[in-house]
Structure 1
């Protein structure tokens, strides 16, 4: 084996070994200069050319944005009672910047299991916000105490995930007035894209229907928040800036909670609607629709199963107060007006009635299958005679009926603040030709005159119709926002002749006193006036209608009840509903108008009268 010996210190250099001892020194100097130069160049690049960017990245790692959601404004009834407010609840947030992208999957898997939210759903929200976002991202609302406990137990595995307190919407009366109040919910992607220019952001809660949607701009408030510096563990070191959240404005409605409760109870589980309003101003005192829902369920996350279950209850989110149905004999108020205002029939007109009215080969039957003899407008309204009003409609003509139907507000939106309102339908010759390719016939006019055929009216529109004779001939604009404007700002005259109004009012009073509306002829109410209606609705049972106002001489309230596919007559089915609502109104608002019970007879025997 060869062993290399170190060169002798005393050996003389040769041409081949001159400078070899300094070679390593030169190499080391060269490498040092190269490294120092490279590092200096890199520092120059990082500090001068990339300084701003790197400073931003550093700030993102230590500066955190904590948004503060505003507390939504309260909703009150006309007497200041709470209909909607806010309560404190727990929500779960994630801080995207707290973890590297590759570290999030395991965390999200655990969060998904605890909160029972699909992992993909959370991941989608995180990707949309961006993994470098310094803002907190809410992924769950209204979590349960058990979920809060689980989050705390696994906190060491949930870096970047926090549980915090926020204000959520609360409806203390549950499902009461749900269709009027509406509900709140988080913006979806489509809604966010539309409203981003208005200052909305991902995760914002907005009104989704009803008053919550209609008055969103007042109720919303303004976001606030904090910009804070945190350490590596995410602990706040100091507050760098703060903007206080501005609470939303309160909204006071025209609804009367006592009347609303009575209307809810009167309708019960019957599919349909009840509307009560002030006939002089159009202020809505109550509005009920069945089936219904509890808006509190939207204060937490709605699962697909819950949504499917809700939809299976017969479209509970449809406000039937503002959906069109055949108005049946309630429409005879319009027919009477058209007949007298056309000049073809005087208020004192008397016509014979029959078991059926024959028109173009079609028999329009009287509901009692016999007729009522020769009668005038008052008796015809009281008994709801089909053959009488069929003759009036035929004589006045289709154009006159259509004109007055539209003057009363049919076929158009009433103007109430809610976006869910339908306009109904007042058909005419052009409409029929377009839809069916057929001409308008006399039979169409007669059918329309008794509230059948193509005509579709909403319970709210029918309530507005009853307000016209109640207030002396003005069509009111129903509204929900309570204010101090004079009633003339909410109504317009239809210029109905006084004799016409007088006859219609007499007829509606006679309906209750001696006709189809005897359900309201009770001592618990002041004298009232109204009209029943029973609409054919094949293939199901008939619809029942009843509209009324009271007191008959100086009305304060109009109530309209509609019972969908209930069967039976309007007076017997919907009439008692109207009575219950009116009883509650006068009990809580004007008990002095309720007739006092007669004093009981004396218990002692009366003395015999003296003989003459």
Structure 2
């Protein structure tokens, strides 16, 4: 009997426990949880699942298709983010909540009440949007800001808003398609492209159909050639981004273009529209956010006649900020003019501040062409050009040749492995020992006495090869690291990293010897090389190079001692002052200049006679009242005077700057 009673009691307890467990683990969602879940789905734009949470018996519930379409219509336009929902009151099944969100027109916030029963939401139209009704629509009116200008250090415009000209056709005034071939020839397009544009469904007989945008210069040329004699051809003036110095600054400034579908996807919450432009390269791309400003917008509810019923949110547009560069456009233009027939890179900077005064890559391209719209033929021609006009040569790295010799000398002085007064004995060719086989270091200039000053002045390869071995790998590599060779160069525009050794290369005595005079595995970026040279007139410190006006910062402090810097500077002055110095062609009676030439051999082996040569020249003032340093690299100078070619072409630009 007791046993039976215990079984009954145990069964009752089990039932109670199961009931408690069921209650704990299967208790329905709270109304607050339902509201939260619903709006979490809104964040994910899962409109279909949102509809599934509605009470299907609600008399005002629209169809699922209508529900999804309306949500897309509204939320794709206002582009919400940071959606926040808070339940502020709950009475029986009636829940009051507050919703807020950031939109293209600023923050939107409103309250709504909904009824929830059995975890289902009874629909009302404010669930779609505040004050929404079937006859009303939500509309966004955007206001694009003015894009900031880009100016040089003296306030001259390098990028601004200006006028261009759109040549187009008016269908009702044309002689059919009879003139398409002639129009296509004038505008450097093809008949098929014109036919495609003229077949658009929106075109009426009096519609202006734009075919090609051109600059004022091209417009004038086309008019002189007689394009307006063709009936139906018209010109409209349009406003667009223009670059007054065109090819002279293209690699620095870059260009803007109309946004594409990929841009809209990437920047979906930033207010870009199909009519926006975006920076594609150079300063235009790097400073896109500052230049562009902030888009303004207004979210309104309009009736079926497009009358505004209510303004939900409004945000004023903020115009973009101007960017003032450190560039001196006159110096930039002068260096551009000097090297129009070359593949070259030129850097000019103020060594006392790190301000970049000129940054030139040759050959160049027209950034105005990119804004106006490139034809396929023109684009292909640019890409297939063996001279690579689209490549920014100042970004690249190159074998520095003899321009590394002062750096080797400075490292030797710092480590006390070079005695500047010691005569090593002049040698036209030299090798460490017979283990080098047939390999010798050779030089065109073996001065006597063979001391540091003469070795720099006359650019003796053998002297620096021998001293590189004396300095040793550890000391050389330590100072290369101190000079940040191989590290990212802190600069507003991306630059390739210099290197002193290829990581896959075995470090041999021969390689170290070659590094001493700028061959081996060393590759230098022109801007970094120019910055290192500035240490010789800054008592051993290097200022951070920058192209946008701002605070002057020390990049590398006291990399060389004051005494070492002074010794190298005096030797570099002699390179130009000595009548037989490699840079004497640029000598000035009125101002002391310091400089160094360099010719880098690009060849497969020591016996290769088919290789090419790079010509380098760095020149700098030593008078603090007129601080200037110019470094130029020119490709293919073999049989054109070597580095002497660069010295000759630097003179005009230097004289122009010093005369200001």
Of 395, 415, 427, 2:490 maps to 415
Q: What pairs with 1:561-572 in structure 2 (closer than 5 Å)?
A: 561-567=632-638, 568-572=640-644
Partner residue, 2:600: 535
Q: Going by fraction, where is helix more abundant, 1 or 2?
A: 1
Alignment match, 2:569: 505
Shift of 1:244: 4.8
SS at match of 1:196: coil
Aligned length: 489
What CA deviation, in whole Å up to 9, does each residue of 1:356-384 have, x standing for no partner? Answer: 0113225444432x622332111110000
Residue range with higher mean Cα deviation, 171-180 or 295-304: 295-304
Higher relative contact order (CA 8 A, sep 6+): 1
The Cα offsets for residues 488-521 of structure 1, whole Å up to 9 and x where unpaired, read as x234323423332222111101100111001211
Question: SS of the residue aligned with 1:351?
Answer: coil
Note if 1:246 corresponds to 2:315: no
TM-score by length of 2: 0.66
- Quick check: 2:303–2:309 contact (8 Å CA) kept in 1? no
Shift of 1:562: 0.9
Query: C-alpha displacement at 1:245, in angstroms?
Result: 3.5
1-side partners of 2:577 and 2:412: how far apart? 24
- Find the aligned partners of 1:347 and 1:306 in 2 and give their Cα distance: 56
Q: Does 1:544 align with 2:618?
A: no
User: Could you tell me which residue of structure 1 aligns to residue 533 of structure 2?
Assistant: 466
TM alignment of 1:156-555, pairs within 5 A? 167-224=239-296, 244-313=316-385, 314-359=387-432, 360-368=436-444, 371-419=446-494, 421-427=495-501, 431=503, 435-436=504-505, 439-483=506-550, 485=551, 487=552, 489-514=553-578, 515-523=581-589, 526-538=591-603, 539-551=610-622
Cα 1:66–1:354 change in 2 (3 A) is: same
Deviation at 1:556, TM superposition (A): 0.4
Aligned residues of 1:512 and 1:530 also touching (Cα < 8 A): yes
Q: Please tell me whether the aligned partners of residues 272 and 564 of structure 1 are also in contact (alpha carbons under 8 angstroms).
A: yes
Work out which of the residue numbers 73, 87, 105 in structure 1 matches 2:162. 87
Please give the alpha-carbon distance, in whole angstroms, between the structure 2 residues aligned to 1:170 and 1:540.
41
Residues 617 and 633 of structure 2 are in contact (CA less than 8 Å); yes or no, is this contact kept in structure 1?
yes
Contact kept, 8 Å, 1:71 with 1:167, in 2: the verdict is: no
Q: Could you tell me whether the CA contact under 8 Å between 1:73 and 1:249 is conserved in 2? A: yes
Q: 1:319 to 1:57 in 2, by over 3 A?
A: farther
**Structure 2 match to 1:25:** none
Shift of 1:191: 4.1
Cα pair 1:382 1:507 within 8 Å, conserved: yes
Unaligned runs of 5+ in 2: 1-56, 71-131, 168-188, 203-208, 604-609
Deviations 1:411-436 (A, max 9, x none): 223211002x10122206xx1xxx25
CA distance, structure 2, for counterparts of residue 186 and residue 76 of structure 1: 22
CA distance in 2, matches of 1:154, 1:553: 60
Structure 1, residues 190-231: CA drift from partner, whole Å, max 9, x if none? 444333344444453211111111111110122235779999
Consecutive unaligned residues in structure 1, runs of 5 or more = 1-43, 93-111, 132-137, 156-162, 589-612
Q: Could you tell me how far apart the structure 2 residues matched to 1:482 and 1:139 are? A: 40
Q: Is the alpha carbon distance of 1:544 and 1:571 closer, same or farther for their aligned partners in structure 2, counting shifts above 3 Å?
A: closer
Cα displacement (A) at 1:70: 2.4
Post-superposition offset of 1:67: 3.9
Q: Secondary structure of the equivalent of 1:219?
A: helix
Encode CA deviations 1:290-311: one digit per residue, 9 max, x unaligned. Answer: 1101111121233322211112
Aligned counterpart, 2:193: 116
Corresponding residue for 1:558? 629
Partner Cα separation in structure 2 for residue 115 and residue 511 of structure 1: 62
CA distance in 1 between partners of 2:240 and 2:134 (Å)? 34
Moved more, 181-190 or 317-326: 181-190
Give me the whole-angstrom Cα distance separating, in 2, the residues matched to 1:570 and 1:113: 46
Q: 1:229 to 1:165 in 2, by over 3 A?
A: farther
Pick the structure with greater CA Rg.
Answer: 1
- Cα distance, 1:68–1:164 mapped onto 2, change above 3 Å: farther
Cα distance in 1 for residues equivalent to 2:194 and 2:568? 61
Change (3 A) 1:236 1:300: farther
Q: Is the 8 A contact 1:546 1:575 kept in 2?
A: yes
Does the 8 Å CA contact 2:526/2:633 hold for their aligned counterparts?
yes
Q: Does structure 1 retain, via aligned residues, the 8 Å contact 2:259–2:277?
A: yes
Asked if structure 1 preserves the Cα contact closer than 8 Å seen for 2:136 and 2:302, the reply is: no
Q: Is the 8 A contact 1:509 1:552 kept in 2?
A: no
| Equivalent position SS for 2:489 | coil
User: Is the partner of 2:267 in helix, strand or coil?
Assistant: helix
CA contact (8 A) 1:277 1:557 kept: yes
Q: Which moved more, 1:65-74 or 1:266-275?
A: 65-74
Q: Distance in 1 between matches of 2:583 and 2:374?
A: 45
- Between the aligned partners of 1:89 and 1:231, the Cα distance in structure 2 is 39
Query: For the structure 1 residues 552 and 358, does the alpha-carbon distance in structure 2 shift closer, same or farther, using more than 3 Å as the test?
Result: farther
Shift of 1:333: 1.4
Q: What is the SS of the residue equivalent to 1:279?
A: coil
Cα distance between partner residues in 2 of 1:401 and 1:270: 33
